[in-house]
Amino acid sequence: MTMHSSSETTALLDGIRAFIEPASLRTDADSALLYGRDWTRLYQPNPLAVVLPGTIEQVRQLVCYANDHRLALVPSGGRTGLSGAAVASHGELVVSLERMNRILDFDAVDRSVTCQAGTVTEALQNFAREQGLSYPVDFASRGSSHIGGNIATNAGGIKVVRYGLTRDWVTGLKVVTGRGDLLDLNRGLIKNASGYDLRHLFIGSEGTLGIIVEATLKLTRPLHEPNVMVLGVPDLNGLMAIYGVLRGALELSAFEFFSELALRHVLKKGLHRPFETATPYYVLTEFENPAGRFTDQALQLFEHCTEQGWLVDGVISQSEQQAKELWRLREDISESIAEHQPYKNDISVRISRVPALLEEIDHLLAREYPNFEVLWYGHIGDGNLHINILKPAEMATATFAENCGAVSEHLFATLQRHGGSISAEHGVGLTKKPYLHYTRDATEVGYLRALKQVFDPNGIMNPGKIFD
Ligand code: 2HG
Ligand code: ZN
């Protein structure tokens, strides 16, 4: 992309004001900071400006204008991402969808809802609940993440073992491609065998092919009286053994884990231990338990796992309130450690490979990070681990990043041997770009580049994200 002189910049922005009301084009420093970064905090935000279109037509005009002037665009949702995919640090124009946040249509027969891309996840979840239904993709950033952003990263979260990823709920997408064409993809159909499904190409594309402007999503029935159990686990081996037993007997909607080291950070923020005994690891699992029908079974399973030595203590929620409090022990971890500028890993392998991977990376991390605090948590039931390394307060950010980057090479080489992915749910963005080759070989990346060329021939859509 070309650098613009200040008179060129003024002319460029004036050109945008010709089709976007001036109040929706922001150039002030506060907006640049707010809209120019996501939750990574690793990159200096430096957008050219922030534009907030109100209609699909305005988005289309913007993309055409950006093509004419070779202006880089960064599509922007709730900016809760953790890989830098929504960062604008090279004079890009941020296109925030936040004004396009309306729910447009609901159909009880189809059990589906159509909304604009800037709809906040929680607003959609609440809307579904009001209809007696549920939008079950869920995560801690529900209060600020946008549906468009969730789709652009194929967001996962805490209920994947039961409900799958965002991809599984999208039945229709309207997108403005990098060429400025409006595509209406799949139109809410359940079955459609009419050739390539471009909808799925846009899911997880991290804003590099075009801008998602509208989505149609499936809804489902709400969970029947879910109960939460937190279990104290003495070693990593027990985790998947417990999973095998529980998922065979109960209708699980979550199977999460976290380490004692991670728990200590949420305790510092005022939460309470789930039970007296401190154990190196904890499982948090949720299961449907209408009218307490499965309580006895859950207790029997608990006994069995205890006899096997896989767990040593546990608690089962007695009320909705207690279930919420237990969930916070897991959900609040990420936010509770943000002040330590963690180096984040978000890796996955097939479920059957988790025990072998855990053992190997446990050794690797103990060897490579003897002096750093390493926290484990994540969605272990779907083979997804979050490994966070905390920056020692006295260490310079750059030295820390260098250290962690070097270890990543070992970690990802191990992951590659197990056929895993360098990003399970956070995306590649900027932070994982140097490591993409551990997950996608050069031939495959060649196809990705060719696809980008088709949808975005001038390279204006979120350049520098996923690959260069
Ligand atoms: C979670 O599962 C989020 O809590 C954030 O995906 C993970 O902080 C992280 O690394
Ligand atoms: Zn996660």
Residue 242, amino acid: I
Q: Are 243 and 249 in contact (CB under 8 A)?
A: no
Instruction: For residue 93, report the distance from its CA to the centre of ligand 1, in Å.
Output: 28
Ligand 1 binding pocket mutation candidate from 145, 334, 373 (most atoms within 8 A of CB): 334
Q: Is position 450 within any domain? A: no
Check whether 2 has a pLDDT greater than 50.
no
**CA 331 to ligand 1: nearest atom:** 4
Nearest 5°: the CA angle 71, 76, 77 is 165
Structural domain includes residue 438: no
Residue 46, both tokens = 């430096």
Q: Is 141 in the pocket of ligand 1 (CB under 6 A)?
A: no
List the CATH number of the domain containing 261: 3.30.70.2190
What pLDDT was estimated at residue 4?
Answer: 64
Give me the domain span that covers residue 346. 341-426
Final residue before a domain boundary, out of 190, 218, 246: 218
Please give the DSSP secondary-structure letter assigned to residue 342.
P
Whether residues 130 and 169 share a domain: the answer is yes
pLDDT in tens, 119-165: 999 999 999 999 999 999 999 999 999 999 999 999 999 999 999 99
Number of the ligand closest to the Cα of 284: 1
Do 129 and 184 lie in a common domain?
yes
The ligand that comes nearest to the alpha carbon of residue 346 is 1
Number of domains in the chain: 4
Local structure of 59: helix, strand or coil: helix
- Asked, for residue 443, whether it belongs to a domain, the answer is no
The 8-class DSSP code of residue 82 comes to S
Do 311 and 348 lie in one domain? The reply is no
Look at residue 441 and tell me whether its pLDDT is greater than 90: yes
| Neighbouring residues of 7: CB distance < 8 A, sequence distance ≥ 6 | none
Q: Which CATH number goes with the domain that contains 26?
A: 3.30.43.10
Query: What is the per-residue pLDDT for 6?
Result: 87
Nearest to 313 by CA among 229, 380, 244, 249: 229
pLDDT for the residue 207? 98
352 with 420, same domain: the answer is yes
d(CA 425, CA 30): 29
Both 239 and 329 in one domain: the answer is yes
* 116 and 211, same domain (yes or no): yes
**Geometric angle at alpha carbon 146, from 145 and 150, rounded to 5°:** 85
Which of 121, 259, 333, 384, when mutated, tests ligand 1's pocket best, judged by the most ligand atoms within 8 Å of its CB? 333
Residue 294 falls inside a structural domain: yes
Distance 408 CA to ligand 1 centre (A): 18
Give 322-375 pLDDT, tens digit per residue: 999 999 999 999 999 999 999 999 999 999 999 999 999 999 999 999 999 999
> Does residue 407 fall inside a structural domain?
yes
Domain shared by 201 and 246, yes or no: no
In this structure, the answer to whether residues 214 and 112 fall within a common structural domain is yes
Task: Tell me the backbone φ, ψ of residue 446, rounded to 5 degrees.
Answer: -60, -40
CATH number at residue 362: 3.30.70.2740
